[in-house]
Structure formats: C-alpha cells, structure tokens
Amino acid sequence: MPDIISTVDVILLTLKDGGLQVVLLEREHEPYAGVLALPGGYIHPGEDADAEAAAERVLRDKTGIVSPYLEQLATFSGRGRDPRGWSLSVCYYALVPHGVIGNAGRTQVSLYPVDAVRGLPFDHARIIAAAVERVKNKSSYSSLPVYLCGETFTLPQLQAVYETLLGEPINKVSFRRKIEAFDILEPVRGALATGGAHRPAQLYRLKPRYHKQLSLTDRGLNAG
C-alpha cells in the first residue's frame, strides 16, 4: 500500500492596505515548482513532537517568523488534492502585524489580498477561504484581532482592526466595555500616541499570559 503524504500548511495573515493579506511563497520543488503557494512542508516524525510543532518549524524555516499565535484550522485530505498521491495536510493559521513580515528579511515572501489570489496549486485557495472565514467569525467574540496589532497600540487602532475584519462599524462604548471584560491589555506606563488632529492617546500592550491565548466573550462585539 502506498504511503499517505502527510504535510502541514500555514495560512499566515496580516493587515495591509485596509484588508487581510496572505503570505505566499514560490514552490521550490515539483509538483508546481515556481508556483505561488502557502508555506508548507512534510511532517518529520523523528523531529516534530506533533503537527503544531511541524507547522512552527515550517513557518520558521520558510518565512523566518518564529512562533506567532498559531491555531489549527482543519485537516484537508483526499486522493485528488496532490498529483503525487493520497495526501492530508493539517492546516494552521497565524495572525501577525505587518511589520513582523517585513522584518523577517526573506525576499521570497510575498503578500497578496485574500480575495485576489488566483491559480494556487493543490486546494490552497479553499484553505485560505476557510481561514479567512474562521478569522472573521472568531473576531466577533474573541480577542483574536489583537494579534494583528503591533507591540503597542491605542484602543482606537485596535477598534479599527476589529472593524476591518468584521466589515462593519462597532459602537465605541460597547467595544471598550468588551475589551475591558477580556482583560487582555495593560497600559504602557507613560506612553502616549501623539500626532494628528486628535489628543494624545494611551498606548496599550498585550498582557504576557495572552501572547498565545485568546479571551472569549459569549456575546458579539456589537451587542450591548
């Protein structure tokens, strides 16, 4: 019986130009050598403790990005998804600030708007669509969007990220009440964002214990 091809793929998402963008790389080997695809690779049983460790390794080796927030999306499998044979891919998605990708120093890393990717190999377009749907849905009841912000940010900046993902405005009072209930942020003492027409705003950062953990609410961000 032929071996099953076991891989991981990572959907690395960031915000740029007012929308979600995904990292794509040119494939180095056949099949589809030279074609843009998601960062992915084989699971190494002797090296990887589990599929998540494999995803972290692949992301680090191929993009230079080390262990951002990473969450399992789904497993995609079947006879027809890979011309080499029956395959399965355990897929993970990660959210990072745009600056993290720029600072990784990998020239082969390219960003594309999630609604403009075309001609991807395997079932990568389907995987990206599933990741985007998950992120938008989860943003309505969790702290997930905070991972798209930089190391420090203001509450209006964080609200703008939420609104971009949800595709609708959020009541300011309701938003701040929910963020306070999440209890994920701490003010950066003595640090204010200045410039522009608005008065200086307090800068916040993620509390250390939430660097790889979400806070959830049982009601949507726009609920009272």
Average pLDDT for runs of 10 along the chain of length 224: 88 96 95 96 96 96 87 97 96 94 74 94 97 96 95 96 96 94 94 75 93 83 61
Facing residues of 172 across strands?
A: none
Distances, alpha carbon 25 to alpha carbons 34, 35, 54, 120, 174, in Å: 9, 8, 18, 11, 40
Whole-Å CA distances, 191 to 51, 154, 187, 201, 211: 40, 10, 8, 9, 20
Domains of the chain: 5-138 (3.90.79.10), 141-210 (1.10.10.10)
Peptide bond into 31 cis (omega under 30): yes
Residue with tokens 């938003």: 175
Amino acid at 110: S
User: Residue written as tokens 């190494």?
Assistant: 44
Alpha carbon 131 to its chain's center: 8
Closest CA to 111 of 41, 31, 25: 25
What 3-state DSSP class applies to 153? strand
Put simply, whether the predicted model's pTM sits higher than 0.85 gets the answer: yes
Q: How far apart are CA 83 and CA 129, in angstroms?
A: 22
Which spans in 104-167 are helix H? 124-139, 155-166
- pLDDT in the model for residue 50: 97
